[in-house]
Amino acid sequence: MAGKVIVCRCEDVTLDDLAHATSLGYAHIEEVKRYTGLGTGPCQGKECMVACALFLARTTGQPPSEGEPFTSRPPIAPVALGTLARDGGEGALPTGRGRGR
Amino acid sequence: MSGPLAAGAPKPECDVAIVGGGIMGLALAYHLALRGVTDVVVLERGYLASGASGRNGGGIRMQWSTETNIRLMRESVELCKRFAQELGVNVWLRQGGYLFLASSDGERARMEQNVALQNRFGVPTRMLLPDEARQIVPDLAPGSFVAACFNPRDGILFPWPFLYGYANQAAARGVEIHTACEVRTIEPGPRGFRLTTSKGALTAQRVVDAAGAWSPAVARLVGVSLPNRPHRHEILATQPLKPFLGPMVSVLRSGLYFSQSMRGEIVTGITVEDGLSERVNMGSRLVFLTTLAREITRVMPRLAQVRVLRQWAGPYDVTPDGNPIVGEAPGVPGFYLACGFVGHGFMMAPVVSKYLGEWLAGGAEPEFLQRWRLARFAEGDLHREDMIIG
């Protein structure tokens, strides 16, 4: 059953893929993202991140409230290069300040 | 099935402790283990791929401006071709070439010089007229460049699997890889270096600083002052498209580069002045998106309709002359540096780690490391690399 459960529709990542990643020791949500590609498609994790966090909480036995989201990547929704090229945009946006680990 | 990561505290004693679990540290661990030096511990503060190794554009090229770098990178590309078989991981390597665009006569002259040097060392780069370049990438805007050079053997790969490949093979040979393990102190002593980490203490006969943009802080722990500083480099990926773009394209004047990954995304970055700082900053900025969008749609107008999916940043580890810092630190025998790769550490790691591994496993010191000594900055013996992109 688990093998048929798709967690990330954009990148076709299944529950089995998540279980495989954690079995290899990649149990932090940033590691799971990188090992499986989860959350790197058009929705950028909006559909799959919570499901992944819950899975990790269950796997590691940590309370779900202690789970972290992975770093959110701008833009919030896909934007055409042509639109960005027309805008002035000289300032800096207060976007995700990478965690610098 | 177990993975390459070690659980618990690092073992109390080892021959070599490598600080930094990026491409350089993991590749070095692999090459040491391959040569019988298996008593090795890798100490990574974050997770595999958390630093620049997991954030770069995946380009590998032989087009450089000094003999050392041309020869090394020619070999590095050859090593990458064997990588999937050797390490059992698909790294999605695609040799679509690198197409550099010149915007002025001055740049064309520099390009011609570099191409001649590359040809002398067996790299088949050739100069192209704009129309010839547009046969390779038909969507390039006429008039947006005056000349180009192309090496069909350059290419791109997907960085993440590379790290897992080296980690798996190093761990399978006995190397301990610890993540979420921060090195806090390093104390040289008569019986080796005493390291304290967030997961416990250990003693190592030799220590390698492979911490990339964080390497100055690691070196400072043993009183060594490094001249390299972190520089934020931003990059983005677009929605995936059907394969249509063969080479990595790069505009010398602006530092723009773009390629199509095996996932179909356009992966692209550009130089945005940010200054050097003492601290690593991986925040994303709107000014990067707009600067890049203006330049990429000038060079390739058809991309205007393509949507940006995500942007991120990684730290370039920048040295004053654009060349790396590799070798034993003056005054601290047994403490080795493998850092300062100025945004090109990923493509250089396969070959550099091989020679460094041979040396640290008892071989002779590679001749090219003479140019990469830390002491050159104090002595003023600098050879500037011209082909720094992004």
Residues of B in contact with A26 (CB under 8 A): 3, 5, 47-48
Residue contact A74–B311, C-beta within 8 A: yes
Whether A99 is covered by a domain: the verdict is no
Whether A97 is covered by a domain: the verdict is no
Per-residue confidence (pLDDT) for residue B273, from 0 to 100: 82
How close B190 comes to chain A (CA, Å)? 32
d(C-alpha B247, C-alpha B250), whole Å: 9
Nearest to B346 by CA among B164, B162, B180: B162
How close B49 comes to chain A (CA, Å)? 8
Whether A21 is covered by a domain: the verdict is yes
Q: Is the dihedral of CA B343, B347, B350, B351 positive or negative?
A: negative
Question: Does the structure show a pLDDT above 80 at A94?
Answer: no
Per-residue confidence (pLDDT) for residue A98, from 0 to 100: 43
DSSP state of B5: B
DSSP state of B376: H
Residues of A in contact with B240 (CB under 8 A): 41
Domain of residue A48, CATH code: 1.10.10.1100
Backbone angles phi, psi at B268, to 5 degrees: -150, 145
Instruction: Delimit the CATH 3.30.9.10 region(s) of chain B.
Output: 94-153+229-316
Chain A interface, best mutation among B238, B286, B296, B302, by max A CB count within 10 A: B286
Looking at domain B94-153+229-316, its CATH class is alpha beta
Whether A79 is covered by a domain: the verdict is yes
Residue B311's SS3 state is strand
Residues of B in contact with A83 (CB under 8 A): 293
* CATH code of the region B13-54+160-228+321-379: 3.50.50.60
Q: What is the mean pLDDT of each run of 10 residues along chain B (390 residues)?
A: 90 98 98 98 96 95 95 95 91 95 97 98 98 98 97 95 95 98 97 97 98 98 97 96 98 97 95 84 94 98 97 96 96 97 95 97 95 93 72
B159 within 8 A of A40, measured Cβ to Cβ: no
pLDDT tens column, A3-13: 589 999 999 99
Whether A100 is covered by a domain: the verdict is no
| Total structural domains within chain A | 1
Residue contact A74–B5, C-beta within 8 A: no
What residues contact A68, with CB distance under 8 A and at least 6 apart?
A29, A53
Helix H, strand E, coil C: the string for chain A is CHHHCEEECCCCEEHHHHHHHHHCCCCCHHHHHHHHCCCCCCCCCCCCHHHHHHHHHHHHCCCHHHCCCCCCCCCCCCEEHHHHHHCCCCCCCCCCECCCC
Per-residue confidence (pLDDT) for residue B382, from 0 to 100: 79
Q: How confident is the model at residue A1 (pLDDT cuts 50, 70, 90)?
A: low
Per-residue confidence (pLDDT) for residue A100, from 0 to 100: 39
What residues contact B253, with CB distance under 8 A and at least 6 apart?
B102, B103, B104, B107
Q: How many residues are given for chain B?
A: 390
Whether A98 is covered by a domain: the verdict is no
Question: Which residue range forms the structural domain that includes residue A19?
Answer: 2-86
Per-residue confidence (pLDDT) for residue B364, from 0 to 100: 95
Nearest to A81 by CA among B35, B298, B63, B101: B298
Residues of A in contact with B286 (CB under 8 A): 74, 89, 91-93, 95
Instruction: Delimit the CATH 3.50.50.60 region(s) of chain B.
Output: 13-54+160-228+321-379
ipTM of the complex: 0.92
